[in-house]
Amino acid sequence: MIELVAISLGGGWGVVWDKEVEARWQQLTDEVMTGMKEWRLQHPKATFREIEAALDERLARVRARMLQDVALASAAAEVRMAKPEDRPRCPKCGHLMEARGQDTRSLTTNYNQTIDLKRSYAVCPVCETGLFPPR
């Protein structure tokens, strides 16, 4: 679970991730550096394409974790905390959506990494159309 810190942004409020999240990103980045050094020692005659593939494989894990953390730090992750004017509108009838609990969705990134997003499920109070995650 990401600890979010609320900050004032030009008259409104926003959320950012905490130092623990940044430390986790740094650890993952350090693992990429170490992994590439080890890989290169084991593959001294690797082609450019092989080096690129090895790097992309390692960076994909960091990218997925950062993507997950940033998405979860988004104000859109928590509809019930949003001001009415910031809540999503129903794509069918245009009314403001309301929060109806949370759910988890698994998504696959461009580099085939799976991430889980626990976000608010939003429902239109008029036509009962649902959005998850809300837009």
Characterize the bridge pairing of strands 12-17 and 98-108. Answer: unpaired
Cβ neighbour number for residue 23 with a 10 Å cutoff: 10
Look up the pTM and report it. 0.68
* pLDDT one-digit tens code per residue, 32-75: 999 999 999 999 999 999 999 999 999 999 999 999 988 887 66
Average pLDDT in the chain: 83
| C-alpha dist (Å) from residue 120 to 1, 58, 105, 130, 131 | 14, 31, 10, 11, 9
